[in-house]
Structure 1
Amino acid sequence: MEAKVFEYTIDGKIPYYVKEQSDFIEIPFRVDSNVDVLFIEFSSPEAGCKLGIGVADSTGYLRGWSAERRSKIYIAKGTATPGYLPGDIPIGIWKVIVRLDSMVNGGCRYRLRIIGYRTVLGGITFDDVFRTLAYLTKNTNLIELVKGYSELISIMNYTYPCRDYSGTYKGSKYVEDNPTWYRGDLHVHSIHSDGRNTVCEVITLARNRGLNFIALTDHNTVSQNYELNIDSYRDPIVIPGMEVTTFYGHMNIFNIKR
């Protein structure tokens, strides 16, 4: 079983004056072929430096955003850290997009660590801990697995699929043929940005509070809209959205999936 395809570290420093010219910088890195799991770690040793990150793949597509909330993330074919989109790992030049929230006068040093894996894990959807562990126990040597994938295992946040709750959402007593007032929330966050609850927990909480609809509007990401088939939910109705979050203001966008 293959493990690491490549691993390298990029050290750099962002001068203070850069913040006066731009709110973001891009750090390019190369992804080789035969990779189905990508691990990224970003850190800065200066206490006064507050730097957030997002990742764009070699096609220019934004694969996710975690700002300063997570310094370690992974993207795989079957799953990803909340806030990031799973899928193919195309070869070529990827970019870590660094948001310069706050800087110190002497500038901000940083370290970017990237590891590419080719693994039996890449295509598995980590939405069921017990099923996944059963698969690993049957098909791998767990001791060797821990040795070879310690970085990934340390950050895998499992999210659970809403199909586990599907019995709760059949039908809707709220939908009416005639115009009427509906109660809902057009600004909802989950663990895909700075919320505390998974998407399924958010839906459950909304339904228990008698809401007719909610909009998933996590900060600068649409990964929450891919966690479940939200188009099939009618109790409550779930609207795909995103909160565009900048230093100069915020706004919500609705019916967006990319």
Structure 2
Amino acid sequence: MSFAPADTRTLRGTLPPGSPDHVYVPFEVPPGTREIAVSYAYDRPSVPAGTPGNALDIGVFDERGTDLGGGGFRGWSGGARTEFFLRADDATPGYLPGPLGAGTWHLALGPYTVAPQGLSYEITVTLTAGAPGVTPVPVYPPERAAGRGRDWYRGDCHLHSWHSDGRRTPAEIAALARAAGLDFVHSSDHNTPASHPHWADAAGDDLLVMLGEEVTTRNGHVLALGTDPGTFVDWRYRARDGVFGSVARQVREAGGLVVPAHPCADCVGCGWRFGFAEADAVEVWNGPWTPDDEAALAAWDAALVTSVREGGRPLPAMGNSDAHRDPDTVGLPQTVVLADGLTRAAVLAGLRAGRSYVAESRTVTVALTATAPDGRHAGVGERLTAPPDTPVTVALEVTGSPRCSLRLVTDQGVLLTSGPLPVSGTGSLRWRTTPAQASYVRAEVRHETAAGPVPGVMAAFTNPVFLGPVRA
């Protein structure tokens, strides 16, 4: 379908139940187009209780095409917006400004859920002729902040701005991060890097801003964490397609980490189905502690047991807020990482190594160490190499956790519990073990519970300290 300059056309269609994950609606852009404006609507019929209704996402690809890998990608707003525009000099949040090349463009429709009656849509496309504006040269946040040298740094690596389905600007998120005592944040908008240049003014000597994406597939979500500025990571595949390995390599080649997000979430398409062979870490705690997080913790701990018994790579855990809008709390939870400095490279290295713990707020601090009789010691994410029968002293120090209980967990399960802590929130725990008895030790700090044997809501947990030699 072709358009005359300043012309408006309406595109209609109906998607039946069982439609493909992505449907492409072509339209022609003539030479000399200054602006493309799109609005859309779809029907929302009544459905029986427990049956998903209609939900339709949208994005756009330019004349370079829709092939996987995103050469033609120009923006995605999912279901967060009913209209958007693109020009050379500007674009709706979530979309990329740039030249409007002549040729066949495609609207990308994502029928997230389709009612039994089907989903009827109507799209209005308006093309305005005129001289193009000048595309701005993107300026990205710096890859380092002042920092404190080698130290523990607090961050939230799963945050959404108004460049996807969040409601906060980067500046508003940065202000909340500073108020939460964070040293670093990570941009994780869904399926678009459009926010990346808009974080430059939010960064500063006191706040490192890392860039990336939450890749939102139909078989789970994954953080492309700390990639090079402007990196686009495609989301249009399922586990059965066998392409995730190449996507994970792309993320790592762009300097980032592959971190499955909220792997046990039960929303449509949210639960992780790709396995963890390509993961660099996993988001075990997402937002306020829920049964989903408890399930993710149990699954992660079972994977730790398998890794230490079979000689595989232990997968570090993270925690992030996934904050979108009020009243979501930035920094609940936060990952506290031991890094050589407040730089992108150093923070990512600490996260990849598991030199980190997760806490509900800036007030909570946790220190977990294992010490051999000769004075050698190891902290979270590290290994204390010692013969199997070597006596090892495990020490846990906690502050900021009033009335919380302390737990030490090994590959044999929970082996020691102490508490509750006094109202000061400060306490410690000492335990003697050997590498033969415990291949690893990790700590949990739990709030009080009134549900008998059910553990309380998490206040903090650590990655493990590993004991003994590495198993071949």
TM-score range relative to shorter protein: 0.7 to 0.9
Q: What is the aligned partner in structure 2 of residue 151 from structure 1?
A: none
**Structure 2 residue 141 is the aligned partner of structure 1 residue 176:** no
Please give the alpha-carbon distance, in whole angstroms, between the structure 2 residues aligned to 1:111 and 1:56.
Answer: 18
**Structure 2 residue 209 is the aligned partner of structure 1 residue 238:** yes
Please give the alpha-carbon distance, in whole angstroms, between the structure 2 residues aligned to 1:189 and 1:44.
Answer: 25
Please give the alpha-carbon distance, in whole angstroms, between the structure 1 residues aligned to 2:182 and 2:36.
Answer: 38
Q: What is the aligned partner in structure 2 of residue 137 from structure 1?
A: none
- When the two structures are superposed, what TM-score results if normalisation uses the length of structure 2? 0.41
Q: What is the aligned partner in structure 2 of residue 209 from structure 1?
A: 180
Please give the alpha-carbon distance, in whole angstroms, between the structure 2 residues aligned to 1:70 and 1:209.
Answer: 29
Contact 1:56 1:96 (C-alpha < 8 Å) held by counterparts? yes
Contact 1:66 1:83 (C-alpha < 8 Å) held by counterparts? yes
Q: What is the aligned partner in structure 2 of residue 6 from structure 1?
A: 7
Please give the alpha-carbon distance, in whole angstroms, between the structure 2 residues aligned to 1:55 and 1:210.
Answer: 38
CA deviation vs aligned residue, 1:56-98 (integer Å, no higher than 9, x gap): 1111321111111111111111111111111111111111111
Q: What is the aligned partner in structure 2 of residue 33 from structure 1?
A: 31
Contact 1:4 1:115 (C-alpha < 8 Å) held by counterparts? no
**Structure 2 residue 106 is the aligned partner of structure 1 residue 95:** yes
Q: Give the deviation of 1:108 after TM superposition.
A: 1.5
- Among 69, 80, 93, the alignment partner of 1:69 is 80
Q: What is the aligned partner in structure 2 of residue 116 from structure 1?
A: 127
**Structure 2 residue 97 is the aligned partner of structure 1 residue 81:** no
Please give the alpha-carbon distance, in whole angstroms, between the structure 2 residues aligned to 1:252 and 1:14.
Answer: 30
Q: Report matched runs for 1:38-53 at 5 Å.
A: 38-47=36-45, 48-53=53-58
- Among 180, 198, 211, the alignment partner of 1:227 is 198
- Aligned-pair identity in percent equals 33
Q: What is the aligned partner in structure 2 of residue 58 from structure 1?
A: 63
Structure 1's 211 and 232: CA in aligned 2 closer, same or farther, altered over 3 A?
A: closer
Please give the alpha-carbon distance, in whole angstroms, between the structure 1 residues aligned to 2:57 and 2:11.
Answer: 17
Please give the alpha-carbon distance, in whole angstroms, between the structure 1 residues aligned to 2:64 and 2:90.
Answer: 19
Structure 1's 230 and 238: CA in aligned 2 closer, same or farther, altered over 3 A?
A: farther
| Larger helix proportion of the pair | 1
Q: Give the deviation of 1:13 after TM superposition.
A: 1.5
Worse-matched range after superposition: 38-47 or 70-79: 38-47
Aligned length: 211
Contact 1:29 1:93 (C-alpha < 8 Å) held by counterparts? yes
Contact 2:178 2:207 (C-alpha < 8 Å) held by counterparts? yes
Please give the alpha-carbon distance, in whole angstroms, between the structure 2 residues aligned to 1:77 and 1:228.
Answer: 20
Contact 2:215 2:222 (C-alpha < 8 Å) held by counterparts? yes
CA deviation vs aligned residue, 1:185-225 (integer Å, no higher than 9, x gap): 11111111121211122122222332111000011111110
Q: Give the deviation of 1:182 after TM superposition.
A: 0.5
Q: Give the deviation of 1:124 after TM superposition.
A: 7.6
Q: Give the deviation of 1:25 after TM superposition.
A: 1.0
Contact 1:230 1:240 (C-alpha < 8 Å) held by counterparts? no
Please give the alpha-carbon distance, in whole angstroms, between the structure 2 residues aligned to 1:96 and 1:187.
Answer: 28
- When the two structures are superposed, what TM-score results if normalisation uses the length of structure 1? 0.73
Please give the alpha-carbon distance, in whole angstroms, between the structure 2 residues aligned to 1:227 and 1:205.
Answer: 16
Q: What CA RMSD, in Å, does the superposition of the two structures yield over aligned residues? A: 3.0
Structure 1 or 2, whichever has the larger Rg, is: 2
The higher relative CO (CA closer than 8 Å, separation ≥ 6) is in 1
**Which ranges of 4 or more aligned residues in structure 1 deviate by more than 3 Å?**
228-234
Q: Which runs of 5+ in 2 are unaligned?
A: 46-52, 66-71, 232-472
Please give the alpha-carbon distance, in whole angstroms, between the structure 1 residues aligned to 2:77 and 2:151.
Answer: 38
Structure 1's 77 and 53: CA in aligned 2 closer, same or farther, altered over 3 A?
A: same
CA deviation vs aligned residue, 1:130-160 (integer Å, no higher than 9, x gap): xxxxxxxxxxxxxxxxxxxxxxxxxxxxxxx
CA deviation vs aligned residue, 1:160-188 (integer Å, no higher than 9, x gap): xx9xxx9xx9x95x5133x2110111111
Worse-matched range after superposition: 84-93 or 106-115: 106-115
Q: Which amino acid aligns with 1:39?
A: A
CA deviation vs aligned residue, 1:8-58 (integer Å, no higher than 9, x gap): 11111112242xxx2111111111111121101121124332111111111
